[in-house]
Amino acid sequence: MISIAMATNRSAQRPNGAPQTKVCQFKLVLLGESAVGKSSLVLRFVKGQFHEYQESTIGAAFLTQTLCLDDTTVKFEIWDTAGQERYHSLAPMYYRGAQAAIVVYDITNQDTFGRAKNWVKELQRQASPSIVIALAGNKSDLAAKRMVEFEEAQAYADENGLLFMETSAKTAMNVNDIFLAIANKLPKSEVSTGGAGTRVLNDADAPRASSCCK
Amino acid sequence: MAASNEEEILEGFLCPICKADLKSASQLTNHFESLHQEEQDVLKSLKEIFGKAKKIILNNDDTDLKETFDRALKFSSQERYYAREEQTVGVSRSSTDYFKAVRSARLERYATETNKLLIRLDKLVCNMPSDPNQRKQHEQEVVPWLDGSSVKLCPNCAKAFNLTRRKHHCRLCGSILCHDCSVFLDLNVAKTIVDPSATPQPETSTAEKFGLRLCEHCYNLVQLRRQIQENRNVKTVLMSAYEQMRSLMEQATPAVEMYEKMCQSLFDGETIYNLSDVNAMRGRIGKLAEGIDLLSKHIASLPVQPGTRQAKLQNSIRQASAHYIKEELLSLRKLPTEAQIEEVRRQRYERAQKQIELERERIERERERREKEWGEEGEASGGRGQQHDDDNPILEQMNIIRDYIKEARKELRFEEVAILEQNLKDLKKEYQLQMLSNKS
């Protein structure tokens, strides 16, 4: 008799034994003009917070966040760079060896979009050829003051093979989605099981070690 | 029985005043009424009791109770006699069918009622609109509300409805009740009742805060159902202990991997980790091993009948975990001593120094060669590039990273320490390159 009610359960329960999940680690870097909302995006993604008066970043901030996909756990090692020009020289250290980058611009400021295009160019020239680049048009809650059209940015992203989303760190719109889209696009091969980050570290280690010994 | 002995318990038709034993109830009443007239007011209640008893006795046409007593006495002694002898089973009749018929009728009523309520609850909760007006309409679509025009009193507490005591409806059966008699079922709880696999969400928007208004009857049925559900999902002691143990093991495996890595790095003379870091990691693994050991012992010592499958299972769990601890957690590599580390580091440092020396000489030679080739021209670039150290963004960033490392180290997040140390190294290299390029 009571089983009738049980039939109304809409979702079947998962089997108890959790399957062995792969763990992948990726280095991700945020780039873009200052005050477009890079730190706010990261803060929203990692801690779910938003500060109206976010202080400007000095140098580069480091955060980690773990995402669970179907059968893999993706651990992001996030480098949030400062947008100010004087820190520009640091950026190559962080996009070098990164598997993913988010280039951020502010949809209410046409200049920041131009700057974002430059960042994309620089990444395409100097970063790893397999890097996954995402373009984020931030501050989409201020659509009334929009200066960069969605279609324009989308067309640019399509041309250059970038992931593209308009985001808002303030309302959390598309914030998790863009990180999730990146995680899905990243190759999750067996090699990276031990942490792609560590693999990259080893690569960097190798030449130095050999030069030391001989 | 006279009150000759104080310690003896008095029995019989005793007068409550003079304690005389009056043989029968009618005699006692007569005695009481004739001799203790004046105390009657005080003992009015007593008299009433006796009056009642008298009436019953009179109705039975059994004025003299002696006979009755005798009969009762005889009867009880006979019974005692029978009880001692073994009885043969007489004619018996099974009442199971009758019991089942009664029981299933009751259960049927209960189960259908509960199911009806659950189906309604499911419909109610499923597409509940957040707007109050729409919500009311939705509720009435699922459960027709009783017309309240002829209901003057709350059917539950029988208090009259008026301006302050308004009529309300139970959202599951549609009956009328007052606010005091209503019970509220939290919407999140309701969701878990109709869909146990859904995890309860902690969202509490203001519109949903109040929950569903129910009458006590429906509430009890739904709650009962919830209890059954919860009981079914209750984990046994063995299971919860085992799960705890597994989670400790899951923490231990990466900890051991990390330990090995850190150990290797120490032996290689790298400066990413300190000896104290590795010791802290070792301590953590020891704690985990201790926890696993305790839990598995606890599992093995759970009371169980020997020889059953459960006993076997508990034993195997204990053995497996003991094996795991021995093989994986206690076979950790020994740490190098402080002196060993110093030695390895010194060697490494010397090698690096030599390398730097060679590099510098090479650059020096190159510059001399260039200066010879270009003559005076090189001097022009000598003045630039002496940046102020505090101003250098790379130095600034190095300090930031050092702070991060300190923090990560404090919280034993050694994976992060490794990443950050690597970055610090990169930064140093970058800084040296910058300095070199400024010089040349």
Arithmetic mean of pLDDT over chain B? 78
Tell me, yes or no, whether B373 lies in a domain. no
* Interface-testing mutation among B239, B242, B402, B423, with chain A (most A C-beta atoms within 10 A): B423
Q: Which of B233, B253, B284 is the last residue of a domain?
A: B233
Residue A2 touches chain B, beta carbons under 8 Å: yes
Residue A93 touches chain B, beta carbons under 8 Å: yes
Confidence category of residue B116, pLDDT binned at 50, 70, 90: confident
Chains A–B, number of C-beta pairs less than 8 Å apart: 76
Does B206 share its domain with B315?
A: no
Point out the least confidently predicted range of A7-21, A145-159, B66-80: A7-21
DSSP assignment of A28-95, as one string? EEEEESTTSSHHHHHHHHHH----TTPPPP-SEEEEEEEEE-SSEEEEEEEEEE--SGGGGGGHHHHH
Output the domain CATH number for residue B126: 3.30.40.10
Does B213 share its domain with B268?
A: no
Closest CA to B1 of B26, B28, B20: B20
Please tell me what DSSP assigns to residue A129.
T
B225, B397, B418 member nearest A90 (Cβ): B397
How far apart (Å, rounded) are the C-alpha atoms in residues B436 and B360? 9
| Radius of gyration of chain A from its Cα atoms, rounded to whole angstroms | 20
Kindly state the average pLDDT of the residues A47-59: 88
Tell me, yes or no, whether B409 lies in a domain. yes
Distance of CA A19 to the CA centre of its chain: 27
Does B104 share its domain with B229?
A: yes
The model's pLDDT over A131-188, given as tens digits with 9 standing for 90+, comes to 999 999 999 999 999 999 999 999 999 999 999 999 999 999 999 999 999 999 998 7
* Interface-testing mutation among A29, A78, A201, A211, with chain B (most B C-beta atoms within 10 A): A201
Tell me, yes or no, whether B413 lies in a domain. yes
Does B167 share its domain with B271?
A: no
Does B106 share its domain with B213?
A: yes
Residue A143 touches chain B, beta carbons under 8 Å: no
pLDDT at B194 over 70: yes
Tell me, yes or no, whether B137 lies in a domain. yes
Arithmetic mean of pLDDT over chain A? 81
B400, B419, B426 member nearest A77 (Cβ): B419
Tell me, yes or no, whether B304 lies in a domain. yes
Does B255 share its domain with B271?
A: yes
Please tell me what DSSP assigns to residue B130.
S
How far apart (Å, rounded) are the C-alpha atoms in residues B250 and B248? 5
Measure in Å the smallest separation between the Cα of B227 and chain A Cα atoms: 13
Does B116 share its domain with B226?
A: yes
Lookup: tokens for B44: 């009015």
The pTM score is: 0.48
Measure in Å the smallest separation between the Cα of B197 and chain A Cα atoms: 6
Residue A110 touches chain B, beta carbons under 8 Å: no
Tell me, yes or no, whether B6 lies in a domain. yes
Query: Which structural domain range is residue B56 located in?
Result: 2-60
pLDDT at A194 over 60: no
Q: Which of B296, B329, B362 is the last residue of a domain?
A: B329
Does B104 share its domain with B228?
A: yes
Tell me, yes or no, whether B221 lies in a domain. yes
Does B273 share its domain with B192?
A: no
The H or E element that residue A24 is part of is strand A22-32
How far apart (Å, rounded) are the C-alpha atoms in residues B115 and B120? 8
Does B241 share its domain with B229?
A: no
Candidate ranges A149-163, B340-354, B381-395; pick with highest mean pLDDT: A149-163
Tell me, yes or no, whether B227 lies in a domain. yes
How far apart (Å, rounded) are the C-alpha atoms in residues A202 and A158? 34
User: Which residues have C-beta within 8 Å of that of residue B196, sequence separation ≥ 6?
Assistant: A9, B229, B233
The model's pLDDT over A74-89, given as tens digits with 9 standing for 90+, comes to 999 999 999 988 888 8
pLDDT at B61 (0 to 100): 52
Kindly state the average pLDDT of the residues B283-308: 88
How far apart (Å, rounded) are the C-alpha atoms in residues B312 and B304? 10
Measure in Å the smallest separation between the Cα of B155 and chain A Cα atoms: 29
Q: Which of B10, B42, B60 is the last residue of a domain?
A: B60
Does B297 share its domain with B243?
A: yes
For chain B, the residue count is 440
Angle at B253 between CA B250 and CA B257, to 5 degrees: 150
Q: Are B314 and B289 in contact (CB under 8 A)?
A: no
Residue A63 touches chain B, beta carbons under 8 Å: no
pLDDT at B102 over 70: yes
Does B56 share its domain with B163?
A: no
Closest CA to A105 of A63, A48, A164: A164
DSSP assignment of B266-334, as one string? HHTT-SSS-HHHHHHHHHHHHHHHHHHHHHHHHHHTS---TTSHHHHHHHHHHHHHHHHIIIIIS-PPP
Q: Could you give the number of structural domains in chain B? A: 4
Measure in Å the smallest separation between the Cα of A148 and chain B Cα atoms: 32
Q: Which residues from chain A sit within 8 angstroms of residue B431, using beta carbons? A: none
